[in-house]
Structure 1
Amino acid sequence: MILPTWLLLLSGTALADYYNPPISDGYGNWSAAYEKARHFVCQLTLTEKVNFTTGVGTGQTVGYSNSIIPRIGFRGLAGDDGPTGVRGADYTSALASGMNLAMTWDRQLIYEQNYINGAEHKAKGANSVAAPVVGPLGHAPAGGRNFEGFSPDPYLSGIAFGEAVRGTQDAGAIAEGKHYLLYEQEHFREIVEWNVWLAEEPNITDPYSSNVDDRTLHELYLWPWYDGVKNHMGAVMCSYNQANNTHACESDRLLNQLLKGELGFQGYVSSDDGSQFSGVASALGGMDVTGPGETSPNGISGLGESYWGPNLTLAVLNGSVPEWRLDDMVTRVMASYYYLGQDKDYPELNFASGNFDTYGYEYPEAELGWRKINLHLDVRDNHAETIRKVGSNSAVLLKNSKNTLPLKKPKQIAVIGEDAGPNKYGPNGCSDRACNEGTMAMGWGSGSTNFPYLVDPLSAIQQRALKDRTVVQYVLDNWAKDQIGDVSWQAEVCLTFVSAISGEGYLEVDNNFGDRNNLTAWKDGDAVVKQVAANCSETVVVIHAPGPILMEEWIDLPNVTAVIFAGLPGQESGNGLVDVLYGDVNPSGKLPWSVGRKREDYGTDVLYKANGPVPQLDFSEGLFIDYRYVDKNNIKPRFEFGFGLSYTTFDYHGLRINAVPAVPTASISPSQAMRTTNPSICPHTSLNPSDYTFPTRCTPTRGGDPKLWDVVYRVRTTVTNTGSVAGQEVAQLYLDLGNGTPPRQLRGFQKVMIQPGEHKEVEFELRRRDVSIWDVVKQQWVEVTKLGTDIKVFVGSSSRDVKLRGVIPATGKAPSMISSMVPSSSSRMSSVVPSSRFKVTPTPTH
């Protein structure tokens, strides 16, 4: 049989061009995993392989459970949400949000929490975790699911994403990174979902399309995925939206060419619930598994039928989908399974997501398989300690004008605001956490989980106050103006709580359809702060929110003396906050985005009104989102990216920049045909090796060209704690790469604990990709110094608080050619580091 030309020439490229042979390296062994997977796949019949790719679910998990095959003793693979814990289970932990992990700027804490997540999923018998998240990246600050991810900065998100993948998989569960790619808002993400809610003309006929140029795609939205693939990510969930008007789950460009080709991804691609829109096209486009189940609201003719299942069997039999592609689908899934060692003593699935009954049907829709479906295993161990640590280390101190904090055994405290207390319905009283009742510690949607308990701030404050003999009065009704006035004027310190919340688009809260309608505090929070500040000379504002909120109405009031952004910190919310309020933990959190003075400061926003049957989101701002836009347009933010105060102070001095000698490494181009191979996996596959020769584009390592990961420069500085208490500082490195890039881009950070008077050297490693831009013509990364561009180096405590400056000169330039970078007004002598070609100078702090 000769395959049709159209099948082999998708996007002008042979379909098999992006079939990747396995890689042997890392803590596991992909080669060995693929060999085991091939052996497994070659035992299967055609229908068994099709059933394997068409997740039908067992009724017990939110995710798919691939076909159980009693004939060969295979029990199937179960998956479950999500980034904050095992969704719909009992006796599991409720973790801090991904945003809070980014707020810590702490690689070890990011790893630790995700290890916990992987360990709890494994203990419950789930093979894969639908996490971590870098889609959405955070294109618009009001985006509903931004809190699930890390930061609109690709470097910070990439480091966090890589550590999260590593932590999850070190615990034994498959990390299924999501959502790939350009899924940046909730409005118009699904046809049925949106049309049922909105019912206005014109109803959408397809999910929105995120339209982005190739350079922006690589340097911004695709950037973090390199880190995930580099750290052996076993699975990827493709997203609801379209990318440049092609559905993400059938995009040959996104899945085959970029993910499996350029990045060298070894695992499998699963659909999200309702993100598959075709049968043959999604199979050829690179999707490997229908994740949530056989049917979907976007099914054939809107009837909820499967695009795969029997239809995929027919497509293979009639030649529309080659059997080697089907083999590849199953092999990728099983390779991840074997790579994580899940074939040895992996726990059986022992819970039923969303159903806490001990006995029930294994297949509830068919009312079959009555048995014990929940063992109610407690898998929490001592994980609360890490969650509390994330909460305290992620708290960002934005203002402390009168040294109000830390609290010093005040005689009387007023606690004001609904966000300080418990939800009157209980911590799990609202479906998937979709309500704004009580304190906010988690966003809503599939990224949520059940709280085993929730320590609200008021409870934790009262517990601490008992030790200090402090009087605590409180008002938890934001509209109880008289009572708020009565307690606030009596108090020495008034702890005032405001909040906002957002979530996934299938749920609505106060007419917010996932995305936030505004960037202000909910439930009249601005008015509450102003009323308290009018009566209380030391007003401390605590914010729980899924992203930045505008605070111009009250931030400059003289009686607002301290502000803490606490994010969405999970089950230990109150305890972690009290650790910071009383100084048991010196705040060290830094903003993972900027706080504007008005909404327009961000330059990007959610598309709230459909601009056609297929809404078009044109990312015309290119690389310039969040602080990149603010810096480009000389906008003064209220608080800049990377900002965060401490109870102590730090000084920077002695910037040194050194080139790292090159180590010979084989380099490849993403478009380079590396070798010729037949992609057949099993001997019986319906491809004759003598008939077909497929050029295979592959990368010999995960994460793209291996040279991208070479360390090419080391930047060092010394940080001194000039205060009176120990504290952690997040030293940050930014680069100006010229060539149309943002004036400053984060390219390094290190968090260090420093004792009073102590000096610590901080080192940043710059990899080749950190000093490169994407060449759309050559289709590869190019170092800007080889383009004749000097790299400006900035080191400091935030994107605006630059302490030291330096230059990495363009290739072939002598140091004297860049002396103009040294300001004559510098308060210290500039110096050239011995054996270095790079001129550096300090910049006075401000």
Structure 2
Amino acid sequence: MNVKSTWLYRMVMMIVIVAVVIGPMNIAGAAGSRTDRVDRPWMNTSLSAEKRTALLLQEMTLEEKIDLVTGKVNNYYGFYNNPIERLGIPALTMADGPAGVRIANPDVQDKQSTALPAPIALAATWDTEAAKQYGDLLGDEAYNTTHNVVLGPGMDIARIPWGSRNFESMGEDPLLQSQMATAYVKGIQSHPVLATAKHYLMNNQETERFTTNVKVSDRALHEIYIRPFQEAIAKADLGGAMCSFNKVNGEPACENKTLLTDLLKKEMQFKGFVMSDYGANLSTAESANSGLDLETPGTPYGKWGDQLLAAVKNGKVSEKTIDDKARRILVQMFSKGLFDHPVQNNQIDVRDHGKKARQLAEESMVLLQNKNNALPLSKDKLKSIAVIGPDADNGTVAGGGSSLVNPTYTVSPLEAIRNRAGKGVTVQYAPGTDPISAGDIMPGPSAVPSSLLTTSDKKENISAGYATYGDVEQGLRGEYWSNNKMEGNPILVRNDGQVNMNLGFYNYQGLNAKSPKIPNTPTTLNGLISARWTGAIAAPKDGDYALSLTSLGSSKLYLDDKLFVDNQGAKLSTTKKNISLKAGEKHKIRIEYRADYQVNGRDSGGMVRLGWEPPADASDKLIDNAVKLAKKSDVAIIVTRTYDSEGYVERSDMELPNNQDRLIRAVAAANPKTIVVQMSGRAVQMDTWQDKVPAIVQAWFAGQEQGNAVARVLFGDVNPSGKLPVTFPVNEQSTPVSSPERFPGVNGIGDYSDGIFVGYRGYEKSGIQPAFAFGHGLSYTTFGYSDLKVKQHASGKKSTRTSTVEVSLKLKNTGKAAGAEVVQVYSGKLPTNVETPSRQLAGWSKIELKPGQEKKVRIELDPKALSYWDEKSKAWVMPSGEVPIYAGSSSQDIRLTGSVTIPAASKGKAAR
């Protein structure tokens, strides 16, 4: 062998040895350099995530592990943990969700991202492919805006129809939410980004969410509340879960060993990590030993860090426990690609992502009512359209709180309707009511309209938040102090159109809904605050009125310098008093407010509203102007909205806020062709006006392309196919959770004695007729159902037990327009003495058909819809016998019925 060949042989052998011992070079970037292969063997991408984690843990000090599991607060990322540069561990850079990527860093794309339709709107599509696309877009934008963790999806069951955070949920049914959330998680994690399911567990209301103790049965947990988490773990390899503030069966969720360790990690075999909601961890050793893996604190809430290190050193927490936490985090970071694919700051595709947002919004819209085919509108038959609504000209109508996204652009309903109608149609706008704000999330009567209030007979040189009429400044003169005693000079003086204030959390970091009609309030007034409003009030007509104050903190209303209403405000509540007033007669008015009570140990931050309950036919200038416009228009389109947000409270009623229900009744009386487009994340009360309008469209919070989506549905460019993922009750008294014990709870205890009868299950059990049923949604075409068949598939050659049940039927488009129908299959009462629902969703399929087209639809039923959770055996049980099967267009619109007979199980067999 010559020298050259010997040299070549040695080089080949050296490469082989290196390849065997160290592994191939990681070509993903600097993390896979030759130095890393030797000095950082955990960067070897040919090894499993578990092996890489084991190698890394061997090199970590206890202090570094503690640092890894202790989150920080960062101005750019919010939730955050430090990178450990010595070991090449990247930071977890977290972005709020779940309706878009909430960018906090002003240096990243001007903090703008695509504002998607709210998750409740996504659920209304009943389309898992749409859910995957939604998650894919989120994952893409998160990664390309420097984030590797998305704090979403929300998997809280929408138990309360008017819940302030329902817009973040994917509905009231565990099967629907499970399948939609699983697809959403898969979409996010198709990128080097972790999804974080929230809130684990029982965070089903905002009222007293920090302190409420949820009493819930083991059966309800398994059949309703953990199902979405369980499915995402089993079918989408969920990376993270966020524990909630509330207590569950007496223990805080973030230190609840039964929930975190026994149920989540052992029974559900969750391999990811559990992080706390912001400030939700209340302890050190207790939470660490119960199964919390990552604390995301914030001053003054942090309980880990140095305190956790001390707990390990004094033996209260073992280092093995810390290792398990670090291992869980690192395995997910390795398996999801966070080490090998560092986050980027690449410009997102605004045009393409906006188009996808519009398509999702279009598919989500639910046609609730359409008498005499009032919709779609025909441009050829219209000469004039009145667009009415306080935010019809606003393209940023969205849920507040951590879900609020700074959109790349917006399109308002008014703008889109004008564009779609074209030059041949006159489109005019009237607001109809004062703008909707965070104040409207509070319960109690609507705020007194600004047009009935005046500061003086002459304009004053102060900042104006509302319009003026003639020479009179509308609204009241507001003075604000940053103490709760009105001491010293006020730090802010301005004109406020209404007294309808809700600051604190709702005024932090732009969380209040963006609107040029809402004046900005300095964040220095978010804690200790007192305020005084002065001016005059005049009734619009003779009659008996009730004037009220809704507040947390003391509030007083003086009328003609005499104390008229005194609200102590120890809890958020309303105090009102009746008075007879004459039209146009001015009365001097003064409101004094002090934030002298706290919420969860924190200053209440300013919550007060001057409300009214006028005679039924009373109106104000804003409504009168809208009526005048409606009378002279061919069609009136009223765009209503609610203000929904996480925070401290939700309304205790379902009424549209800020006099919008009065607006609808007045406009509908003036123009019989009145269309209502409802933008909300929750159910609203419609019984006072539903029969007065021919058509209602539930448009949800539809994202930045909301205007175009609304216009395309109204004009028939899109045939609506959305179905309600929640039941819409008639009013707040007609629900399965209407008792104070069930909502908001009594003496700090939330009684979940409704058990498994959540949503439509509860309406069926109680015999309560809803306004619109779960699964309801009309179309511009019609569908015929026929030929229902139920087929059983045996689980094995030696067993007669069924493992799957398949329902098939024929679906035909019997109308004149192409459209999509969601075929829903429900199982009936199970053949057992155990109480089970008379109807529960067992499967569905969304089918698009051209006019006259017919397709055979096959739907495999969820085995758990044929089973129940047995608390004694702690297992799913599928009882033998005949089970009714229902197929139709909603939970109440049943078109076909059949049955399936479940054979007796072999000994020890149960549904899984």
Normalised by the size of structure 1, how large is the TM-score? Answer: 0.75
| Post-superposition offset of 1:41 | 1.7
Conservation of the 8 A alpha-carbon contact between 1:91 and 1:377: no
Matches of 2:891 and 2:231 in 1, distance apart? 23
Return the alpha-carbon distance in structure 1 between the equivalents of residues 783 and 402 of structure 2: 41
- SS of 1:747's partner is strand
- Matching of residue 556 in structure 1 with residue 691 in structure 2: yes
Unaligned runs of 5+ in 2: 1-44, 105-110, 434-619, 906-912
Match of 1:214 in 2: 218
**Aligned with 1:37 (options 53, 57, 64):** 53
Residue 723 of structure 1 aligns to a residue whose secondary structure is coil
Q: Helix, strand or coil: the match of 1:599?
A: coil
Contact 1:116 1:171 in 2 (8 A): no
User: Matched residues in 2 for 1:762 and 1:711: separation?
Assistant: 20
Deviates more, 1:378-387 or 1:41-50: 378-387
> Which residue of the partner structure matches residue 116 of structure 1?
137
- Distance between the aligned counterparts of 1:808 and 1:561, measured in 2? 40
SS at match of 1:534: helix
Report the count of equivalent residues. 659
Q: Match of 2:859, SS?
A: strand
Deviation at 1:30, TM superposition (A): 13
CA displacement, residues 402-454 of structure 1 (integer Å, 9 cap, x when unaligned): 2111111111111111131127xxx4xxxxxxxxxxxx3x1110122112222
Secondary structure at 1:226's aligned position in 2? helix
Q: Is the Cα–Cα contact under 8 Å of residues 192 and 341 in structure 2 kept in the other structure?
A: no
Matched, 1:237 2:242: yes
Q: Give, in whole Å, the separation in 2 of the partners of 1:104 and 1:802.
A: 20
**2:631 is the alignment partner of 1:489:** yes
Q: How many Å separate the matches in 2 of 1:755 and 1:451?
A: 35
* Matches of 2:68 and 2:217, distance apart in 1: 36
User: What TM-score do you get using the length of structure 2 for normalisation?
Assistant: 0.70
**Are the aligned partners of 2:208 and 2:649 in contact in 1 as well (CA < 8 Å)?**
no
Q: What SS is found at the alignment partner of 1:809?
A: strand
Cα drift, residue 377 of structure 1: 4.0
Per-residue deviation, 1:790: 2.2
Counterpart in the other structure of 1:446? 402
Are the aligned partners of 1:648 and 1:725 in contact in 2 as well (CA < 8 Å)?
yes
Q: Are residue 225 (structure 1) and residue 229 (structure 2) matched?
A: yes
Q: Paired residue for 2:412?
A: 456
> Which of residues 424, 432, 435 in structure 2 aligns to 1:477?
432
Q: Offset at 1:500?
A: 1.3
Q: Which residue of 1 aligns with 2:171?
A: 151
Q: CA deviation at 1:170?
A: 1.1
Whether the aligned pair in 2 keeps the contact of 1:83 and 1:448 (CA below 8 Å) is no
**Aligned equivalent of 2:551:** none
Match of 2:387 among 415, 419, 442: 415
Aligned equivalent of 1:73: 88
How far apart, in 1, do the equivalents of 2:410 and 2:695 lie?
A: 25
Which residue does 2:640 correspond to in 1? Answer: 498
SS in 2 for 1:792: strand
1:161/1:466 CA distance change after superposition, 3 Å:
same
**Equivalent residue for 1:716, pick from 799, 802, 808:** 808
Distance 1:493 1:611 in 2: 47
CA contact (8 A) 2:887 2:895 kept: yes
- Return closer, same or farther for 1:737/1:31 CA change in 2, 3 Å cut-off: farther
1:664/1:471 Cα in 2 relative to 1: closer, same or farther (>3 Å)?
Answer: farther
| Conservation of the 8 A alpha-carbon contact between 1:413 and 1:472 | yes
- Residue-by-residue CA offset, 1:41-98 (whole Å, 9 max, x unaligned): 2210010001111112443202122x32222233322112110112135231111101
Structure 2 contact 843–862 (Cα < 8 Å) conserved: no
Match of 2:780, SS state, is: coil
The one-letter code of the counterpart of 1:151 is: G
Judged with a 3 Å threshold, the aligned counterparts in structure 2 of structure 1 residues 158 and 397 are, in CA distance, closer, same or farther, namely same
Corresponding residue of 1:727: 819
Q: 1:245 to 1:296 in 2, by over 3 A?
A: farther
* Residue in structure 2 matching 1:274, options 257, 271, 279: 279
Supply the distance in 1 between the matched residues of 2:376 and 2:853 (Cα, whole angstroms): 22
Q: Does 1:534 align with 2:669?
A: yes
Counterpart-to-counterpart distance in 2, 1:806 and 1:320: 59
Match of 1:346 in 2: 342
SS class of match (1:335): helix
| Distance change >3 Å, CA 133–CA 610, structure 1 → 2 | closer
Pick from 661, 669, 672: which aligns with 2:794? 661
Once the two structures are TM-superposed, the CA of residue 518 in structure 1 deviates from its matched residue by 1.9
**1:517 paired residue number:** 652
Aligned partners of 1:481 and 1:68: how far apart in 2? Answer: 57
- 1:104 paired residue number: 125
The structure with the larger Rg is: 2
SS class of match (1:543): strand
SS in 1 for 2:146: coil
How far off is 1:101 after superposition?
0.4
User: Alpha-carbon deviation of 1:296?
Assistant: 4.4
Partner of 2:886: 794
Deviation at residue 515 of structure 1 after TM alignment: 1.3
User: Offset of 1:521 from its aligned partner?
Assistant: 1.0
1:547 aligns to what? 682
Q: Deviations over 1:247-281 (max 9, x none)?
A: 10111110111111111111000001111011111
**1:91 and 1:379 in contact (8 A); partners too:** no
Three-state SS of the structure 1 residue aligned to 2:259 is helix
8 A Cα contact 1:102 1:592, kept in partner: yes
CA positional deviation for 1:802: 0.6
Q: 1:264 to 1:380 in 2, by over 3 A?
A: farther
Partner Cα separation in structure 1 for residue 815 and residue 185 of structure 2? 37
Partners of 2:432 and 2:629 in 1: CA distance: 13
Partner of 1:169: 189
Partners of 1:486 and 1:57 in 2: how far apart?
53
CA deviation after TM superposition for structure 1 residue 482, in Å? 2.6
* Equivalent position to 2:877, from 760, 772, 782: 782
Take 1:30 and 1:760, find their aligned partners in 2: how far apart are those partners? 47
2:652 pairs with 1:647: no
Q: Any stretches of 5+ residues in structure 1 without a counterpart?
A: 1-28, 191-206, 300-305, 351-375, 428-439, 506-512, 666-706, 814-846
Which residue identity does 1:550 align to in structure 2? Q
Distance verdict in 2 for CA 1:275–1:663, change over 3 Å: farther
Of 393, 397, 403, which residue of structure 1 is paired with 2:367?
397
In 2, Cα distance between the equivalents of 1:380 and 1:233?
28
- Corresponding letter in the other structure for 2:366: V
Write the letter of the residue equivalent to 1:723.
G
Contact 1:711–1:767 at 8 Å: present in 2 too? no
Per-residue Cα deviation, 1:344-366 (whole angstroms, up to 9, x for no partner): 23225x5xxxxxxxxxxxxxxxx
- Alpha-carbon RMSD across the aligned residues, in angstroms, is 2.2
Question: 1:174 deviation in Å?
Answer: 0.5
Which amino acid is the alignment partner of residue 102 of structure 2?
R
Instruction: Tell me the alpha carbon deviations over residues 346-392 of structure 1, each in whole angstroms, 9 at most, x when there is no partner.
Output: 225x5xxxxxxxxxxxxxxxxxxxxxxxxx84454611111101111
Change over 3 Å in CA distance of 1:711–1:575 after alignment to 2: farther
Distance 1:722 1:381, change over 3 A: same
Shift of 1:749: 1.2
Distance 1:216 1:610, change over 3 A: closer
**CA offsets per residue over residues 95-149 of structure 1, 9 Å max, x none?**
11010001111111111111101111111121110000112x1121122211101
Q: Which amino acid aligns with 2:341?
A: D
Alignment of 1:333 with 2:329, yes or no, is yes
> For the Cα contact (< 8 Å) 1:543–1:567, is it kept in 2?
yes
Q: Say whether 1:246 aligns with 2:251.
A: yes
